[in-house]
Chain A
Amino acid sequence: MFSFKERAIKFIFSCLAFSCLLFLLAIVVILFWQGAPLFSYMDFSQFFFGKSWYPTSQPPEFGIFPLISGSLIVTLGAMVVCVPLGIGSALYIYELSGPNSKKILKPIVEILGSIPSIVFGFFALTIAAPAIQQFFNIPTGLCALTASIILGIMAIPTITSISEDALSFVPNSFREASYALGANKFQTLFKVTIPAAASGISTSVILGMSRIVGETMTVLMVSGGAAVITSSFFSPVRPMTATIAAEMGEAAFGSLHYQALFAIALVLFMTTLVFNVIAERISQKYALKLGANR
């Protein structure tokens, strides 16, 4: 009887765990099922490299290159903001700060991570965008720069907490050996600790990146929404996620436009999947490197 109960509990929990797999499968199947019919209308390179996105004009044009370039420029800009701030915070919190400032800083970073993205959006719309518009004297504050800064801030907690984990995996014996050789704190940090944690830190950067690429609400509110191919941070852009969010409600079920939006979702899904696989690979590698000494 007892063993039956135990087996039942184990079965229930394994069902719960595998339900995630089911959800993932369902999502992938639906993305392909709804998105793939588009490619009987146009081929993939036309879709991916097409230069204009006019989904409702006659005839419609579904070129997502402007949307990809929008996602790309915003992501690049956000990385410039979040990588130094995120890694810097992690280094300070884990390696340099005293117990008191650690007690304050760690929860603050966590709170920053728990703020809903719509709140960031409101902040950006009412404070950041007008400030940037005035400061740079540009026609509108809703541009790639504003979106980058806000997304960068949003990704800091992801990077900080994962980098902190990576630093905590570096065995103390590494640092002690370095000090024993006469190295000071900064030499130890830059020559021993960071290289040892490097793969974990790069994992954090990649996961931060996939958070930025997938972020929707904030970019919908502040990126401006112009489907242009641009390399200027002062130009309004239209990332892929914002396009889906803005247009899905109005696209007729089963229409080409609807399929095109699903195809964009597919491209997004693949992008984040690749990021996650890379992150997983890197973290496996570093588990091997440090595993014996832990």
Chain B
Amino acid sequence: MKKVKVLCLSAALLLVVGANVFAQKEKLTLEGSTTLLPIAQSAAEKYMDLNPSANLVVRGGGSGVGITSLIDGICDIANSSREIKPAEITAAQAKKKQIEVIAVAKDGITVIVSNNNPVSNLTQSQIADIYTGKVTNWSQVGGKNEKIVVVSRDSASGTFEAFAELALKGQKVIAGALMQSSNQAIVSLVSKTSGAIGYVGVGYASQSIKAVKVNGIAADKTTVQNGTYPFSRDLYMCVIGKPKGETKKFIDFVLSPQGQAIVEEQGFVSIK
């Protein structure tokens, strides 16, 4: 009796494994930036819904990790929230590979304060001074005599990475900053704290807080798209050579109106 059962089980197992091997779908691996992760993930899901034969795997790891994997041939598309570094281009050339970079979305970071804060414009250097702790009172930047409560995203988030690079030029955020784990948490904290300053992705600014102009420029779809807003950047997908086959189909999908709608849904700005 027992032997029969074991036999049946192993036969069933073999069948399942075999079926999987034979039904191997064309697999596409995306790896890289955590900023791009939500876009890549939901675009991949939508794409697989539309093309049931496709099999997409999306991984994080960071822009650098993604590009290294791309050069080593571990992934097909590298998501990157920055441009390719010269060192990476030479590394690719050493393997006789040419990296193609395609901008798929734009990312802008809005600086926000409480609604009853009179400050409505800050310069880039004032913002850097506030976040590095050189300026600690609103009166030093033309506001009320009130202590500044610095609010930041958690240091592991893509938004933090982008802000540190665009606004702070790699300087460290003061240790006393309140680290919040989501864009929503920052909005709700800043709305309730009169001395607070925070930053969120452009898609998250709402009525309950006041978006501050940076160098006199307000963050909106247009200024982020044409790059006049200082805290904006492109997000890229990188491939080896001219995209073709499944890779080309997927990137075309991301650039299509349907794909760009996903970009906006995830709180980013579409490319056009």
Residues of A within 8 A of B (CB): 52-58, 66, 130, 133, 139-142, 220, 224-228, 235-236, 238, 245-247, 249-253, 257
Contact = CB atoms under 8 A, between A and B. Distances in A.
A55 B189 contact: no
Bin the interface of chain B by size.
20 to 34
Contacts of A250: 34, 60, 154, 156-158
A226 B179 contact: yes
B155 interface: yes
Interface string B26-57: 00000000100000000000000000000000
Contact of A246 (B156, B164, B170, B172): B156
A62 B216 CA distance: 38
B180 interface: yes
B193 A133 contact: yes
B178 A56 contact: no
B155 A247 contact: yes
Contacts of B157: 250
B62 A246 contact: no
B155 A57 contact: yes
A140 B61 contact: no
A5 B105 CA distance: 66
Interface of B: 34, 60-62, 65, 146-147, 149, 154-158, 160-161, 164, 170, 172, 175-181, 189, 192-193, 195-196
Contacts of B147: 139
A247 B154 contact: yes
* Nearest 6 pairs of A and B residues by beta carbon: A250-B156, A225-B179, A247-B156, A252-B61, A246-B181, A139-B149
A246 B61 contact: no
A223 to B, nearest CB: 9
A220 B181 contact: yes
Nearest to B148: A139
A53 B155 CA distance: 10
A236 B180 CA distance: 12
Contact of B192 (A130, A246, A249, A251): A130
A257 B149 contact: no
B180 A225 contact: yes
